[in-house]
Amino acid sequence: MTYLYLPRIRIQAANAHATSWVINAAPMMALNMFGHNLGRKLEAFPSGVAVIHHDAQLLGESEGKGFYGRLRPQQRRGASFIDKNDYSSKNPHALSLQPTASCHLTVSLVLSFEDPFDVEEVEEFLSTARIAGGQVISWGEPAVFHEEAELRRSLRSGYWIIERRDLLEGQKNPLETIIQTIGHKAEPAPEGALPNTWIVPTVLGYATITDFQDRSGAREGYPHAFCESLVGLVQYVLVRKYGSQTLPFWQYQWLNDEVFVIQQKKGN
């Protein structure tokens, strides 16, 4: 196994509007698809992507004091129309407003590879890369490791983002469980277990609601289907507190012809 370590990737104005009812700075689907896109460039696809969060800044203004104030995300309006449908239905001279939420992010990524690749192509890819719609503006020097122990010695700060599907499995009302989990103070964790702190909902998959078919405007001409986002729970865990547990690699897969998800690899 070969590990590619991409430290301190700074992303400017990434999409923070994960789905209609979730705004956060954990674009796990986009980060995994970044790994897939890099694999297309290298002609060697990563078998897993692990994410270390360093910093995030939601772009907006806060009402109220402290962490629990209400955030009003910055909105953008185009300077010119694309077609006549871009104008407001109430004012034919004004462009319509599309609700948005953005953030600046700093993350490190660890990608595992089973096939060889050319590391010189990585920085070329990063120079024009985007993640969650945001522009990659800087990064640390990519490093390649062939031993997991050597990789771990290089990971000194930040938070692993790990999956917490265990909190939802077997629940009769998953949505209610999500709201209760993120809205209540966590109980002390048993010895040797991770505390249920810094848990957030984010998009971890999509389920189609229409059949795939050719549609005008579809990216690269691929068959297109409308879908609904699937929301799960992830947790931020300090690298130094995660200890020697198996590295939290994520991978994407089709569960069936209608459901596409990212999940933490078994054993993680």
Predicted confidence at residue 64, as pLDDT, reads 64
Three-state DSSP state, 259? strand
55-59, 94-98, 132-136: which has the minimum mean pLDDT?
Answer: 94-98
pLDDT value of residue 197: 81
pTM score over 0.95:
no
- 3 state SS for 66-116: CCCCEEEECCCCCCCCCCHHHECCCCCCCECCCCCCEEEEEEEEEEEECCC
What digits encode the pLDDT tens for the residues 183-220? 777 677 777 777 778 899 999 999 999 999 998 888 88
Count CA atoms within 13 Å of residue 254 on its CB side. 4
What Cα–Cα distance (Å) separates residue 215 from each residue in 49, 204, 207, 222? Answer: 31, 25, 18, 8
* Amino acid code (one letter) for 234: V
The full set of domain ranges for the chain reads: 2-74+98-264
Q: What is the pLDDT of residues 113-143, one digit of tens each?
A: 999 999 999 999 999 999 999 999 999 999 9
Q: What is the pLDDT of residue 214?
A: 92
